[in-house]
Amino acid sequence: MKKITIISIILLALILSGCNFPGYQEASNDSDDSMATEIAKILTGTPVEISDSPTSEVVAKPTETVDVQETVPAVEDTAEPEAPTATPTPTETPTASPTATLSDTDPALTLGDPDWVDTMDDGDNWPTGYNDYTSVDFSDGYLKLTAETDIDGWRLTWPYLEDFYLEVTLKSPDCEGSDHYGLMFRVPDGTNANKGYLFGITCSGTYSLRRWDSQVMHFPANWTANDAILTGENVVNVLGVMADGENLTLYINGKEVVEVVDSGYLEGSFGLFVGSNNVENLTVWVDQIRYWQIP
């Protein structure tokens, strides 16, 4: 009887302690401290920094000087001349106004006739008027896109493209420093226009390719100076984008300036954007936009 009692006491002690049963793990103060530390990290964590460094594969082109001249339209005098009262003295024949000289690498020289051209004679292809970010007006043969805030704003036209060469001819008469403007393309949803690529130039002579995902602006090609960009009062620049799948090649006045591999967006609508950092109500004047589809 005494032996049974001793054995029962030993078994009862083992059950109560439980420390030798397979699969049992005792909770420790160290574990509680570790969990509290992790929760604190989550609650007080520092936001992730978005680097301005390009995350896409970029092949930069050299920045040698390109001989490009501004297009200056000839002025036509429409007034009726007075009848001469004497034989007029011959005058020197005026020299023709210069035209834009583009690089011989300009894709437009080899692509043939474009599939679509808008010479901006009217607003049939664009939403006009005012919104919170931009206003659009058509006058003097230009689309005039004006920044209404210091946040980049854009307007889109209706064609929806996959692979293409897209080209725009534009200028900004009043423009300073980091004020910028250019093409927006491959916008997946034209009704919201909250995603897409932006290829633009600044008035100080830099270009970039940005990708907007509706939350963060990424830089497949960061702001870079290039001699192909014309700067100064009333200069005209031609921007071109060759989009072939994930391969994006950027041109300025016919010169290839950078190649980027980026698969963020592979098709979509296109349009124009403007961003004012210095000049209030910065306006970009767009003379022509056209594209060629790539089979």
pLDDT digits (tens, 9 = 90+) for 198-255: 999 999 999 999 999 999 999 999 999 999 999 998 899 999 999 999 999 999 999 9
pLDDT-above-70 percentage for the chain: 66
Q: Would the pLDDT of 108 be above 80?
A: yes
Residue with the bigger pLDDT between 148 and 76: it is 148
Mean pLDDT of 166-179: 96
Could you please report the per-residue DSSP string of 132-192? SSEEEEEETTEEEEEESSSS-EEEEEEEEESSEEEEEEEE-SS--TT-EEEEEEEES-TTT
For residues 137 and 142, give the distance between their C-alpha atoms in angstroms, rounded to a whole number: 8
What was the pLDDT predicted at 44? 26
- Is the pTM higher than 0.75? no
* C-alpha pair distances (Å), 114 with each of 30, 160, 167, 225, 294: 71, 15, 10, 30, 11
Q: Would the pLDDT of 172 be above 60?
A: yes
Give the range among 23-32, 219-228, 251-260, 276-285 with minimum mean pLDDT: 23-32
Query: How far is C-alpha 66 from the chain's CA centre?
Result: 24
Mean pLDDT of 159-172: 98
Residue with the bigger pLDDT between 7 and 136: it is 136
Mean pLDDT of 50-55: 38
User: What pLDDT band is residue 123 in, cutting at 50, 70 and 90?
Assistant: very high
Is residue 150 within 8 A of residue 282, CB to CB? The reply is: no
What letter does residue 21 receive in the DSSP assignment? S
User: What pLDDT band is residue 185 in, cutting at 50, 70 and 90?
Assistant: very high
Query: How far is C-alpha 183 from the chain's CA centre?
Result: 7
What was the pLDDT predicted at 190? 87
For residues 254 and 239, give the distance between their C-alpha atoms in angstroms, rounded to a whole number: 8
Q: Which domains, from first to last, does the chain contain?
A: 57-72+99-293 (2.60.120.560)
Mean pLDDT of 248-268: 98
What was the pLDDT predicted at 103? 78
What was the pLDDT predicted at 217? 96
What integer best gives the mean pLDDT of the chain? 76
What was the pLDDT predicted at 101? 53
